[in-house]
Each structure stands twice: as structure tokens, then as C-alpha cells.
Amino acid sequence: MNKAELIEAMAESADISKAAAGRALDGMVDAVTEAMKAGDTLSLVGFGTFSVKERAARDGRNPQTGETIKIKASKIPSFKAGKALKDAIN
């Protein structure tokens, strides 16, 4: 499913226009992004939890030359599915 298909499904499910569903989806994505940029955790009970995890600096290897390189520490987005979502899938 791509973004357009998701917007169509949201519009049909909520009985709203596709334009309104698109704005709602964009607003949700923006809110999740802003919360994660601030280092917050966003929990949607039954669906899951969006959070930011720290990845430590580490050594890597350039596959072309075999040379060892340093990979700097970074923050990565993370999602952990909630029980209701897991149950719905299984």
C-alpha cells in the first residue's frame, strides 16, 4: 500500500474527502516527526510506540577496498508494535 492508497482507505473509512484525509495523514506524520525530533516517545495504545534510539559509534569496513572506517554515532527512529496490532496480524 502506498500513500495514495492509504489516503483513499482513510477517506472511505472515516467518510471524509480524500483531500481531508490527505491533510489528516500529513498532520499525523508531521506530529510524529516533530515529537521524535524533540526526543519524545509517541504511544498509540493498541497500535504501537514510536521512539528514538541511540546507535553507538562503531568500526565498519569499506566493501570495495576492505579499509576499516569509523561510523559515527547516530539517532535512529524505532517502532514497536502494540499487542492489538500484533494480534490483528497473527
pLDDT in tens, 33-80: 999 999 899 999 999 999 999 999 999 999 999 899 999 999 999 999
* CA–CA dist 7, 27 (Å, integer): 12
Question: Within 38-89, where are the H helices?
Answer: 83-89
How many distinct structural domains can be found in the chain?
A: 1
Strands 42-44 and 58-61: unpaired
Q: Which residue range(s) make up the domain with 48?
A: 3-89
Predicted TM-score (pTM) of this structure: 0.75
CATH number at residue 69: 4.10.520.10
CB 75 within 8 A of CB 52: yes
4-34 burial code (b ≥16 CB/10 A, e <16): eeebeebbeeeeeeeeebbeeeeeeeeebee
